[in-house]
Amino acid sequence: MTSVTYKTIDLFAGIGGIRLGFEKYGCETVFASEWDVYAKKIYKDNFGEEPFGDINLIEPKDIPDHDILLAGFPCQPFSIAGKGLGFSDTRGTLFFNIEEILRVKKPKAFLLENVKRLTTHDKGNTFETIKNKLEDLGYNLHYKVLNSLEYGGVPQKRERIYIVGFLYKVNFDFPEKLNVYRPLSEILEADEDIESKY
């Protein structure tokens, strides 16, 4: 029996964190996009390939066909730490790039990640708009706020909304909390191993 390799694209890729999880389970990344010059450099160091730059500069039809779209789209417009301008911030409108890629390429599934506040921004209207746009494209949605601290990965309280969509009805559940907490001491380097300027 042969296993299926799903093709993914990695949008607003940062240094490739979301990609890692999917490749661990056999997915193949066929396209990546990241505009930040320093993130692109680290991405290239991590994966041996430099992501395409600004997603506005490529037509959706020119993006390779793929099965799963991955996107940690810009969170500053919706974050407590930002100005909270939402779709009025040009970075907030980048969600519509995702919408257009989904419309043109019709991948089987997607995973979107953003800050928890996306769900309550503008009294919930922003999130409602996003959900409506995705459902209008024919996707069945599942979404939940998860905190990385509760899944044994990193010693950081990092609450994020995860939006998962499938073109078909899929029996999908978010993972149960592990309640295993990784101590910060496992992550930090020893003080004597770090240059004094840091």
What domains can you pick out in the chain, each with its CATH number? 7-193 (3.40.50.150)
CA 62 – CA 40 distance, rounded (Å): 20
Q: So what's the pLDDT on residue 80?
A: 46
Neighbouring CB atoms inside 10 A of 29's CB total: 23
Q: So what's the pLDDT on residue 3?
A: 66
Q: So what's the pLDDT on residue 79?
A: 43
Q: Tokens representing 93?
A: 């409108």
> Looking up tokens 């056999």, which residue turns up?
26
Q: Are 30 and 5 in contact (CB under 8 A)?
A: no
Q: So what's the pLDDT on residue 46?
A: 95
75 is catalytic: yes
Residues of the chain with pLDDT under 70: 1-3, 75-92
CA 7 – CA 31 distance, rounded (Å): 9
Identify the burial level of 75 via C-beta atoms within 10 angstroms of its C-beta, where 0-12 means exposed, 13-18 middle and 19 or more buried. buried
DSSP string, 134-145: HHHTTPEEEEEE
Q: So what's the pLDDT on residue 1?
A: 42
- The catalytically annotated residue of 9, 75, 118, 130 is 75
